Amino acid sequence: MRRLLALARPSGGRLLLAVLFGVLALGSGVGLMATSAWLISRAAQHPPVLTLMVAIVAVRAFGIGRGVFRYAERLTGHDATFRILADLRARVYERLVPRSGLHGGDLLARLVADVDAVQDLYLRALLPGAVAAVVGGASVGLAWALLPSAGVVLLAALLVAGVLAPWLSAVLARRSERRGTELRGEMTTHVVDSLQGAPELVVYGAAPARLAEAARLDQAYTRTAARSATTAGAGAALSTLAGGLAVWGGLAVGVPAVRSGRLDGVLLAVVVLLPLATFEVVAGLPLAAQYLERVRRSASRVFAVLDRDEPVREPLAPAALPSAPYVLRVRDLRARWTPDGPYALDGVSLDLRPGRRCAVVGASGSGKTTLATVLLRLLEPAGGMVSLNGVDVRSLSGDDVRRVVGSCGQDAHLFDTTIGANLRLARPSATEEEIHDALRRARLLSWVSALPEGLDTRVGEHGARVSGGQRQRIALARTLLADFPILLLDEPTEHLDVATADELTADLLSATEGRTTLLVTHRLTGLEAVDEIIVLSRGRVADRGTHAELLARLGPYRSMWELERRYDPLRVSD
Ligand SMILES: Nc1ncnc2c1ncn2[C@@H]1O[C@H](COP(=O)(O)OP(=O)(O)O)[C@@H](O)[C@H]1O
Ligand SMILES: [Mg+2]
């Protein structure tokens, strides 16, 4: 809670303004009730109408003021809250974006909901609480001035409705809120997961069981929500009861006071009706206490994300980016995904001089993607060094590094728009000429030209309307268009069948000729074309050399090569 309050500091002025407008709005409500009560009683005595003029004007002013001030309070309160939320969202996304490998709509959807829930602290708990304290205090003061015992009655009733009822609500809410938050999270995860896996569920006939599980979660959530609503209802009931008792209490102390002459009869209506207006002030507080509990849970999850170790430490004062041509040098690089986990990379060295092409091969899990991730500055090295033209990349800003080192990953994302728009993402200013050139080098030009809508063909969600090979080629064309000085290709042929994969490898090797390239792959076909091949095994360099050199040795590369040939459906085995 303290941290949430600290977040609000930059918008503190606006929040105070909202409290002020809230006080004026509810104060007008109380004023309206008090003056009209006096006006009705006094008018019953048929005094000269002029003596009522001030009260009549005041009733009008309070009536209009209540609406106007309420509007101003909503406006400033929401404005302040949305500013705080915008700031919080930016921080959360900053933390999430560098996390490659952050999967699933589940976590994201939950975080979005959690950040949104935080707004209730400011709008539904802090603001009403502050306003209630000020207006409630002033009302008690007013009642006290008219008749001290009426002040005491009002104070007691306000304490019951404004402190005791919310406290009870909070205590009762704690359990159901915890369960509710958990269930809400589970349900989101379940629904997102089921929708994404719908084809598999249908194929395996697992949909009914999955739906039944969803129904079970929904029932449990409904029960919790009902319990939570009961709590809110009980709080509201207690608060209303206290309000009603305050009115009766006002009568009980007011009538004897009028009889004994301590209170002007005309003011009796004020003493009795004042509590009615004042209770509008505290009526929302039990609910506010319940929101407070919800906010506490959401905030703890949001801060858990914010407090995670940064995957990459950005330098406070980044060094200037050296100018082209670029030499990328990796020395004894070690890296791991968790602070005390095993090393996914353990002592890897390589040099990428301008125009040179290197391939990194190795079994699944040998650390190829980890290497690419470190080179893209999305994962901090745990040892050794990566340098660009002799400058340690740790002293450069990550965005600068990624301006030089660009990648086309194994799951390159296509946006649900046209082929042209997906390409222009890499370079919005690209001319028709340049786009055609990139398409030609990715061997897509004849296909795209033959499409009835050409570049304006839509690719569908995640590229669903094009084939896997076309999807990867579009991603490759996009990477080529971006024209990074150093190109990182991480298994661009990953999800393709062998024939298509080898074809694409051949095409991309010819497309990258003369460009500094690091090609990560598990297929060896076509690697005659690269200058050096590094064989990774469990994060270590098991062997290195050209295709011919490696084949000549009885090493891991040779076994991989023989395996690939033996099980290759395209080759006749010998
Ligand atoms: N995002 C990640 N979080 C935690 N561990 C990871 C992550 N990515 C990879 N690893 C681990 O690092 C090791 C190397 O994986 P990876 O670099 O993806 O291998 P490759 O790309 O060669 O298949 C594996 O043991 C894997 O479990
Ligand atoms: Mg990989």
Residues 473-511 have pLDDT tens digits of: 898 899 888 888 999 998 888 777 888 888 888 888 888
Model confidence at 573, pLDDT cuts 50, 70, 90, reads very low
What is the average pLDDT across 65-80?
A: 94
Atom of ligand 1 nearest to the CA of 367: 17
What is the DSSP pairing of strand 540-545 with strand 516-521? unpaired
pLDDT above 90 for 329: yes
Task: Tell me how far the alpha carbon of residue 369 lies from the centroid of ligand 1, in angstroms.
Answer: 7
Q: Whose CA is nearest to atom 1 of ligand 1?
A: 101
Distance CA 245, CA 161 (A): 11
Q: Whose CA is nearest to atom 10 of ligand 1?
A: 337
Model confidence at 131, pLDDT cuts 50, 70, 90, reads very high
Distance CA 190, CA 106 (A): 8
Report the percentage of the chain scoring pLDDT > 70: 96
Ligand nearest to the CA of 490: 2
Say which residue, 307 or 395, is predicted with more confidence. Answer: 395
pLDDT of residue 349: 94
Helices (H) and strands (E) in the chain, counts: 20, 10
- Mean of all residue pLDDT scores within the chain: 87
What is the average pLDDT across 393-405?
A: 90
The single-letter code of the amino acid at 246 is: A
- The pairs formed by 429-437 with CB atoms below 8 angstroms and a separation of 24 or more are 430/481, 434/481, 435/481
pLDDT of residue 151: 93
pLDDT above 90 for 544: yes
* Contact by Cβ (8 Å): 480, 442: yes
Model confidence at 571, pLDDT cuts 50, 70, 90, reads low
Task: Tell me how far the alpha carbon of residue 103 lies from the centroid of ligand 1, in angstroms.
Answer: 14
Q: pTM for the full model? A: 0.66
What is the average pLDDT across 179-184?
A: 83
* Contact by Cβ (8 Å): 373, 379: yes
The single-letter code of the amino acid at 415 is: F
Q: Note if the bond before 10 is cis, omega within 30 degrees.
A: no
* Contact by Cβ (8 Å): 231, 288: no
Task: Tell me how far the alpha carbon of residue 186 lies from the centroid of ligand 2, in angstroms.
Answer: 30
CATH classification number, 2-306, choose in 1.10.3720.10, 2.90.10.10, 1.10.620.20, 1.20.1560.10: 1.20.1560.10
User: Ligand 1: which of 99, 308, 337, 343 to mutate, judged by most atoms within 8 Å of the beta carbon?
Assistant: 337
Strand partners, 346: 334
Q: Which residues surround ligand 2, an ion (CB under 5 A)?
A: 368-369
Q: Whose CA is nearest to atom 12 of ligand 1?
A: 344
Model confidence at 29, pLDDT cuts 50, 70, 90, reads very high
Q: Which span out of 52-61, 172-181, 300-309 was modeled with the highest average pLDDT?
A: 52-61
Distance CA 111, CA 308 (A): 14
Residues 203-256 have pLDDT tens digits of: 888 889 999 999 999 999 999 989 888 888 888 888 889 989 999 999 999 999
Instruction: Kindly state the tokens that stand for 63.
Output: 């009536």
Model confidence at 570, pLDDT cuts 50, 70, 90, reads low
Q: Which helix (H) or strand (E) holds 391?
A: strand 391-392
522 CB-side CA count, 13 A: 18
Task: Tell me how far the alpha carbon of residue 524 lies from the centroid of ligand 2, in angstroms.
Answer: 15
pLDDT of residue 154: 92
pLDDT above 90 for 192: no
Model confidence at 574, pLDDT cuts 50, 70, 90, reads very low
Atom of ligand 1 nearest to the CA of 100: 1
Q: Whose CA is nearest to atom 26 of ligand 1?
A: 365
184 φ/ψ angles, rounded to the nearest 5 degrees: -60, -45
Cα-to-chain-centroid distance, residue 231: 30
CATH classification number, 333-566, choose in 3.40.30.10, 1.20.1070.10, 3.40.50.300, 3.40.50.2300: 3.40.50.300
Domain boundaries, the chain: 2-306, 333-566
Instruction: Kindly state the tokens that stand for 38.
Output: 């006096």
What is the average pLDDT across 35-59?
A: 92
User: Ligand 1: which of 369, 375, 494, 560 to mutate, judged by most atoms within 8 Å of the beta carbon?
Assistant: 369
What is the average pLDDT across 291-300?
A: 85
pLDDT of residue 328: 94
pLDDT of residue 102: 46
Written in H, E and C, the secondary structure of 427-444 is CCCCCHHHHHHHHHHCCC
Among all chains, which residue has been given the structure tokens 């909202």? 18
* Contact by Cβ (8 Å): 15, 127: yes
pLDDT of residue 466: 87
Residues 266-288 have pLDDT tens digits of: 899 888 888 888 888 888 888 88
DSSP E strands in 191-244: the ranges are: none
pLDDT of residue 358: 95
Residues 73-122 have pLDDT tens digits of: 999 999 999 999 998 888 887 777 655 444 445 566 677 888 888 888 88
Binding-site residues, ligand 1, Cβ < 6 A:
101, 337, 344, 362, 364-370
CB neighbour class for 450 (10 Å; exposed up to 12, middle 13-18, buried from 19) = exposed
